[in-house]
Chains A and B, each alone.
Chain A
Amino acid sequence: LRLIYTTTTVQRKNIGASGPEKYTEEFIKKQIEEFNLGKRHLANMMGEDPETFTQEDIDRAIAYLFPSGLFDKQARPIMKHPTEIFPEQRKIQWGEDGRPFHFLFYTGKQSYYSLMHETYEKFLNVQNYQDQLLAQDLLPQKEKRNLAGSRWLTKIELEEMLLEKLSDDDYSRFIQLLQKLMTLPCGDMEEKYIQKFSREVPAQLQKVVIEPLKYDERGVAFSTGEGKRKTAKATAVVYDNGTGKITVNGIDVLHYFPVLQDREQLLFPFQFLGRVGKHDMICTVSGGGRSAQAGAIRLASAKALKSFVTEKEVEFMRQAGLLTYDPRVRERKKPGQEGARRKFTWKKR
């Protein structure tokens, strides 16, 4: 017997060289069994029926048992089915005799190149059909399709679809080929195929709800809006046929906001719509500081003005940022630093 001595540096494995962790099928099956058992335990703990315990109940139970104040929703504790957590991975690509299943296996990027092959085949078919029609002079006129409502798949979505890494070049080539296919006169033949690679972009305006105008005893139209900024909450009531008078908490605006900057913030929505002297406003505000209250009233008045104005102008207001809640809050001070970002003075010695 001869003992061979090796140093620990040789024995240490290079964990990074083997690539990202690969999940075997047995591992995933075990995870699914554990998940189902855990679901039943959780249902028992919460006093609910294990048979009718849905995913929403699980989410609520986890949020109750493990409350977390972390900002990033994906960093909070989750309990979901393993197929949603572990990303899909490729299985072995060849059979028992060693012959690969896919005919483009040896290129390296088999799904991407097979996709290109299919798309190019459709392109050639459409061109042949077009040539036949051209010979008989039956070319249909191309109607302009509305491109604003749809977008192509992003690179990440395409990678998820193909389960392969793509480079930016590959992605742009594929999109160019799809665009070429779409611009052909007879491209409508392959619409179903193209629709697989396009997603709808719902116009942002559909989410915005515009309330109708209300009328008070005098017959004057008015509308209300609420707004928040930092810790300040404000409600604003905007009346039509006015002279531009603004009252805050029963006090005139000039006395409540002595600083010009705050009054400019209040004026901004009216100035943007060109209705500076046409509306009266009565608002109530509480909490926050001087600037926060001004911002809260601005948001509240902009929301109230939505009812007075056309849809196009509401979209302009949204793009100008008048209708968005400002999420900026004071960042906490961290230990080991003087403030939220400022570090202590660095001393060389």
Chain B
Amino acid sequence: DDKLLTMPLSHPDYFNVKELFSLKDLFDARVHLGHKKGCRHRFMEPYIFGCRLDQDIIDLDQTMEHLQLALNFTAHIAYRRGIILFVSRKRQFCHLVESTARECGEYAHTRYWQGGLLTNAHSHFGTGVRLPDLLIFLSSLNNVFEPHVAIRDAAKMNIPTVGVVDTNCNPCLITYPIPGNDDSPSAMELYCKLFKMTIIRAKDKRKQNEAFEELR
């Protein structure tokens, strides 16, 4: 049992997430497009490649590294049977995110975030609830263009976060930020596809390893 859990941690890329995406895929899905210069957040400046006609362009090389780290992390969490919660407050992609979560076998929250869901969970759900082990933000702002409350709450409850940060977002409290566009449908579909594939891959790998252990 210990070997099951410690073996993946020794490899740098046990689940081979690098092959799931390429720079060209990211470019075709318009992940590099940011918001206008006036919307730029100060902490996003290191991730921005440049500015063309007032529109910020995100550096896709950095995005590649961050995306690889983030996907690797989600794969490890899914391998160890952790609860993953997809969060997004974009009304356009609410249905897409919920369907992705349902197909993975994980959970989603794309609706109004009630006050103490994570911090006061016993009042909302009852005693003995298991909180999510990872939050994935497919859009880290809420409908009023402020940072989503769940980022702060997850940091308070020591829950790691993975989040797609656009040029107007604050990447501070997110453990694995992924600088990239969160407004285009093509970009969101790409992210959903990638997360779904990593989670399914990790779960299948876990089943395989358990089967190997039993055979011994």
Contact = CB atoms under 8 A, between A and B. Distances in A.
Nearest to B125: A93
B207 interface: no
Interface of A: 92-94, 97-100, 103-109, 113, 117, 120-121, 124
Contact of B108 (A94, A99, A104, A109): A104
Given A104-B98, A106-B109, A107-B111, A99 B117 contact: no
A279 B106 CA distance: 77
A106 B95 contact: no
Interface residues of B, number: 23
A97 B81 contact: yes
B98 A94 contact: no
Contacts, number: 47
Contacts of A92: 126
Contacts of B114: 108
Interface of B: 81, 83, 85, 95, 98-99, 101-102, 105-109, 111, 114, 117, 124-126, 128-130, 132
A124 B92 CA distance: 12
A104 B130 contact: no
B83 A103 contact: no
B4 to A, nearest CB: 16
A104 B117 CA distance: 13
Given A103-B102, A106-B117, A117-B98, A94 B111 contact: no
A120 B83 contact: no
Contact of A108 (B83, B85, B117): B117
A248 to B, nearest CB: 67
A103 B101 contact: yes
Nearest to B81: A97
Contacts of A94: 129-130
A317 B125 CA distance: 54
Given A121-B95, A124-B95, A99 B109 contact: no
Nearest to B135: A106
Nearest to B113: A107
A98 B130 contact: yes
Nearest to A105: B107
Contacts of B107: 100, 103-106
B161 to A, nearest CB: 15
A104 B81 contact: no
11 contacts: A92-B126, A94-B130, A98-B83, A98-B128, A98-B129, A103-B101, A103-B107, A105-B107, A106-B132, A108-B114, A117-B98
A176 to B, nearest CB: 14
A103 B128 CA distance: 18
Contacts of A100: 83, 107, 130
Contact of A106 (B81, B85, B105): B85
Contact of A103 (B108, B124, B125, B132): B108
